[in-house]
Amino acid sequence: MIYLTEETRDGVLTALLAAWGDEEALLLPKDERPLGPCVEVVPDPQKARRALCRFQELDGGCVREIDRLLRCGGEGHMQTAFRYLLLIAKRGGPVRGMLSHPDVLKAEQALRRVAHEIDRMKGFVRFRESASGALYAPLSPDNDIVDILARHFSKRLPEYPFVLHDVKRQKAAVWDGAHLFLAPLKQAEVMLSADEEGWQKLWKTYFSAVNIPSRERIKQQNGYLPKRYRKFMTEFE
């Protein structure tokens, strides 16, 4: 049977309880609406809380892992999280070391992709100073990690208000200098400060100056800095 629910922890935990005993269960986001019979599962916070407490008893580390798995941008991420939780419940304890099991291996590979992109994006984000003095950075990560990145930069730049704009998911993480919150944001028109325009020119000049045409190593460069990340990087604009 196909189960449809929200792409949240409560949604997955509620669906796990609803699909318990169904060995052929397939969990999908409720927006997909596949052909054929399906069951729509409405997240139940109380049931999800009880299930979460039980999983914390079985494996305290799995809660963070499930949150990361639900951030994956690829298809089937909810099913991956679902199968991983189901295996923990059946085994009665941690399973992360069982890499010979396909469900564990799939979850581990997804977790690595998310963690790898988080580390990458910490270096790929390019802030721009607006005329108001606040910083703005558009980005389009493969995974839903804008709030994780915002927590990182709020510690690195605590005195600077900033907006991290995930243009793919049309939302933003906003740091006002004291509080961090998420908000929907489809488009943003930002007027750059006069200093910012000068800094961008200087940065592009430096980037061009350090380039050695005879030793470009294009393949290596594409490995370290994939092209899909470059559209919001000042030096490549």
Query: pLDDT tens digits, residue range 208-236?
Result: 887 777 787 778 878 888 888 888 988 87
Residue 141 has pLDDT above 90, yes or no: yes
What are 11-20's pLDDT values in tens digits? 999 998 888 8
Q: What is the pLDDT of residue 25?
A: 86
Tens-digit pLDDT profile for residues 63-82? 899 999 999 987 889 899 99
What is the pairing mode between strands 180-184 and 171-175?
antiparallel
What global pTM score does this model have?
0.85
Q: Round to whole Å and give the CA distance between 3 and 144.
A: 22
Determine the average pLDDT of the residues in 16-37: 83
Residue 237 has pLDDT above 80, yes or no: no
34, 42, 36: which is closest to 18 by C-alpha? 42
Q: What is the pLDDT of residue 6?
A: 86
Amino acid 29: pLDDT: 86
